[in-house]
A = this chain, B = another copy of it.
Amino acid sequence: MRQETATFETRLKHNALAIEALLGRLLGLSVEADEIARPENLLVAMRHGVLNGGKRLRPFLVIECASLLGGSVEAALRVGAALECIHCYSLVHDDLPAMDDDDIRRGQPTVHKAFDEATAILAGDSLLTFAFDIIASPETPLADAQKTALVLALARAAGHGGMAGGQALDLAAEKAAPDEAGIVTLQAMKTGALLRFACEAGAIVAGAGPVDRQHLRSFGEKIGLAFQLADDLLDLTADAATMGKATGKDAARGKGTLVALHGQPWAESRLEQLVAEAEALLEPYGARSSILAETARFIANRRN
């Protein structure tokens, strides 16, 4: 168990460094074909929004799911970088005054604080757009059919039927508290869709058939639910210093969460159940999937 954890943590850290390095290179100043120029101030804001030392959990899932099925790590790394651009754009826009109005993210000023609102809007737009550039780029060593499948799945996960729609529901929830089904839908969209995509993307990168693809998609769904539940627990119990961002905001805003609805003991037991279900989905892959099982436990037990 200790050995396994050490491997997991090493791999997670190694992955974060690799993603950081790749994103840093991709967001460098050299102009790509079809681009006219890259405005430096906008690039600096994009880098501020992306190169923030995050855990890079979503790219990690892409890479580990691809590896499980024998996919190219190089391709998975680029798809992971694209996914991280989407995740980070959503943070940049969600932090805006008109949205969640957050000044601090990972202990640093948010993009609209470090720059200005207009630049934060454009940096978010540009990161969102850049994700599709990265996937479709000739430098991503995948077949066109894989790239098309990834673009479609990512657009659906990130768009009005996924993450962006979830954020819209979240804003509406401040005015009229959703019922339990509403909370589940909101969270499946806002947080779950990208985590589900991360796992499914690994399968697409590996050229997996529909069975493996569905398996990893379901695994992604389970850990998406666990992620959100752990997040809601953390919002209730952690302090701002641990999280590097404001906490206790859900309760302050009267937002409904499953933790608020059913209580902490229920949430902790539900988390255990979700991890068990996620692990069960990995059984067909045997010992090779131990890192993914460890990831599910990490997501459920994380403290920041």
Contacts and interface: CB of A to CB of B under 8 A. Distances in A.
Interface of A: 31-39, 41-43, 46, 89, 93, 96, 98-99, 116-119, 121-122, 124-126, 128-130, 132-133, 135-138, 143-145, 147-149, 151-162, 164-169, 171-172, 185, 188-189, 192-193
A138 B156 CA distance: 13
A121 to B, nearest CB: 6
Q: Is the interface of A mostly helix, strand, loop or mixed?
A: helix
B42 A164 contact: yes
Contact of A126 (B138, B145, B160): B160
Copies of this chain in its oligomeric complex: 2
A39 B186 CA distance: 10
Contacts of A167: 122
Given A93-B125, A144-B145, A160-B42, A165 B133 contact: no
A164 B46 CA distance: 12
Nearest to A184: B36
Contacts of A129: 128, 155, 158-160, 164
A167 B45 CA distance: 14
Contacts of A119: 168, 171
B144 A36 contact: no
Contacts of A33: 156
Given A36-B193, A155-B133, A98 B126 contact: no
Contacts of A41: 168, 172
A121 B98 contact: yes
Contacts of A35: 156, 159-162, 165
B168 A42 contact: yes
A32 B161 contact: yes
A159 B124 contact: no
Contacts of A149: 136
Contacts of A128: 125, 128-129
Given A36-B162, A42-B168, A136 B121 contact: no
A155 B144 CA distance: 16
Contacts of A144: 143-145, 147-148
Given A98-B118, A118-B171, A147-B147, 19 more contacts: A32-B156, A34-B152, A34-B157, A34-B161, A34-B162, A36-B166, A37-B185, A39-B169, A41-B168, A42-B165, A89-B125, A98-B117, A122-B168, A129-B155, A137-B152, A144-B144, A144-B147, A147-B148, A151-B151
